[in-house]
Structure 1
Amino acid sequence: MTAPAPHALFTPSWHAELQLGYARFGDSTRPILRRHSGPLRVQKHLYAEGPQVCQHIIVHPPGGIAGGDRLDISASVERDAWAQLTSPGAAKWYRANSPAYQQLEVTVAAGATLEWLPQETIVFSAAQAELSTSIDLQGDARLFYWDVIALGRPASDERFERGHFQSQLNIRRDGQLLWHERQRIVGNDGLLDSPIGLDGQPVFATLLVTGEIDSELLERCRALDHPVRGDLTQLPGLLVARCLASEALLARGWLIALWRLLRPALLGREALAPRIWNT
């Protein structure tokens, strides 16, 4: 019996899907859809702030994403509902011989609010991570979104020498493109150390929040005393914040500090950190 050709060898991989839906009933936001297949799910819904804000923690039980894996997440937040989604820890993308994928598709109805606040994403050297995010806002829907990307493992002196990280983010309001961004970083690319790139910092983070703030609050945000290189830009209807950092925890700490300042001003509620962030 002849052995199968190398390209025919089976490579184990996971294909996981998670579908979430939220609706407003009286003064409470409740999950109306929670469907999953494969190793991707949410824990029980939490109401740390009261019934208006439904918090879910998205869990990926394998603990890491390997070559060939695919994660598909979709969420719908119906009129006047408020969903806050986070994660229990860092998402780890392992070294691989083939790409792994994550796709996020979200719809937020008029009067509704979505907070997408995951913990950091760690992309190991030689990983092939490809992420795509599409967010559709309707009417006066509100969004608070962030991501933190760590290339390599600085604590282990691992530089991002091989593999690639690429992502695409599209945010639309009533079908009109509000924000479009594409990134592709290849291992050992000159961009990693270039002063017009990451300038030798292995971690970069982005925050996007709908709405506009006054110049006084903008300066308070810029004056935050954190060991990151970051700044904010107010665009029409969208506030953008970015930073470079030596560690993911520093970048996440800066984002949380901004969230504490911006959430009351733009979303009308004090910022209460999910307990999972402290574990």
Structure 2
Amino acid sequence: MQMHPPPTLAPWRAALQLGFEQQAGRTVMRRLEQYGPLTVQKPLYPEGGTVCHAIVLHPPGGIAGGDMLQQDITVGSGAHALLTTPGAAKWYGSIGPEASQVIQLRVATGGTLEWLPQETIVYDGARARSQLQIELAEGARLACWDLICLGRPAAGERFKRGSWRQTLRIQRPDGTPLLLERALLRGGDPLLDAPVGLAGQPVMGTLLLSGQVDADTLALLRALPSAPGLRLGWTQLDGLLVLRGLAARAEPLRAAFTQAWQTLRPTLLGAPAIVPRIWQT
């Protein structure tokens, strides 16, 4: 009897390119190119025509070993786009190949981009690499967050195997860096439980907003109520306001980030705090 190896599924290759421009006082999606399983729903205008909302969809529902995803999003002068996702991104365990994602965001002078995806769940055994590169012109406005859940705490799963590699770079169009961070977290590493690391908290996150606030506003932000056990820290950099958090579950950290975004959106982004409807479904 002849034996045949089990069939294997080819990894996904997917790319999405979006471009937003201002046209007669309205933000429109002028560019949409896609390859593979990455797309967006039609442009939505829950705030009127000034702000264009778009929901990025990844129909497979998860990222497996060997998958490669790319997103390139550009916001032109005077345009305002808000992008989010319909649910958590999932990076599955892998027995070999590494999965990767590269997200390139570009915002022109006078443009505004809000990149607010729902949380990322890194399964035990995942081998994942994520790069977020942001090109921010002088006078551009940005709100961006990233919430990472290592393992699945609700299911009792710890991040004991695998690796999570992450790069965040924010720069001017000429290459001048505003912020550069790199992280490598390995499953089971003592750093995950160390006080100088994640202190045993499986969920971490960063919220970034362009602009400056005064000392009184920063004190008000630090005094915002939060869930018990949630660890939050605000930092004002040159032209960037940063909130970092650690939590046992994703929901309270996402709620804290949403509250901070709602508080600062009118001042730093010039728009009222209207929560995307997809977050409430």
TM-score range, shorter chain: over 0.9
Amino acid at match of 1:164: S
> Partners of 1:26 and 1:110 in 2: how far apart?
17
> What residue is the counterpart of 1:226 in the other structure?
226
Matched, 1:31 2:29: yes
> What residue is the counterpart of 1:42 in the other structure?
40
Matched, 1:145 2:134: no
Aligned length: 277
> What residue is the counterpart of 2:191 in the other structure?
191
Alignment of 1:158-177 (within 5 A): 158-175=157-174, 176-177=176-177
> Partners of 1:192 and 1:86 in 2: how far apart?
28
> Partners of 1:231 and 1:78 in 2: how far apart?
32
Amino acid at match of 1:77: V
Per the TM alignment, residue 237 of structure 1 is displaced from its structure 2 partner at its CA by 0.7
Amino acid at match of 1:203: V
> Partners of 1:3 and 1:32 in 2: how far apart?
53
Per the TM alignment, residue 51 of structure 1 is displaced from its structure 2 partner at its CA by 0.4
Question: Normalising by structure 2, what TM-score?
Answer: 0.95
Per the TM alignment, residue 174 of structure 1 is displaced from its structure 2 partner at its CA by 3.4
> Partners of 2:3 and 2:144 in 1: how far apart?
49
Amino acid at match of 1:101: S
Match of 1:253 among 240, 252, 255: 255
> Partners of 2:157 and 2:137 in 1: how far apart?
43
Does the CA-based 8 Å contact 1:169-1:180 persist in structure 2? yes
Does the CA-based 8 Å contact 1:213-1:265 persist in structure 2? no
Amino acid at match of 2:182: R
> Partners of 1:278 and 1:100 in 2: how far apart?
30
> What residue is the counterpart of 1:215 in the other structure?
215
Secondary structure in 1 aligned to 2:267? helix
Mark the runs of 5 or more structure 1 residues left unpaired by the alignment. Answer: none
TM-aligned CA distance change 1:134 to 1:3, over 3 Å: farther
Percent of pairs identical after alignment?
48
Amino acid at match of 2:107: V
> Partners of 2:9 and 2:59 in 1: how far apart?
19
Query: Following superposition, which runs of at least 4 residues in structure 1 exceed 4 angstroms of deviation?
Result: 2-6
Per the TM alignment, residue 139 of structure 1 is displaced from its structure 2 partner at its CA by 2.2
> What residue is the counterpart of 2:182 in the other structure?
182
Amino acid at match of 1:231: G
Deviations 1:221-250 (A, max 9, x none): 111211210010111111111000010111
Per the TM alignment, residue 138 of structure 1 is displaced from its structure 2 partner at its CA by 1.4
> What residue is the counterpart of 2:267 in the other structure?
265
Does the CA-based 8 Å contact 1:42-1:56 persist in structure 2? yes
> Partners of 2:91 and 2:75 in 1: how far apart?
28
Per the TM alignment, residue 5 of structure 1 is displaced from its structure 2 partner at its CA by 10
Per the TM alignment, residue 130 of structure 1 is displaced from its structure 2 partner at its CA by 0.4
TM-aligned CA distance change 1:4 to 1:173, over 3 Å: farther
> Partners of 1:221 and 1:3 in 2: how far apart?
65
Per the TM alignment, residue 271 of structure 1 is displaced from its structure 2 partner at its CA by 1.0
Deviations 1:158-215 (A, max 9, x none): 0000000011011012321000000110000011100000000000000111100112
Question: Normalising by structure 1, what TM-score?
Answer: 0.96
Match of 1:54 among 48, 52, 58: 52
> What residue is the counterpart of 1:127 in the other structure?
126
> Partners of 2:177 and 2:274 in 1: how far apart?
31
Amino acid at match of 1:135: I
Secondary structure in 2 aligned to 1:159? coil
Alignment of 1:2-41 (within 5 A): 10-41=8-39
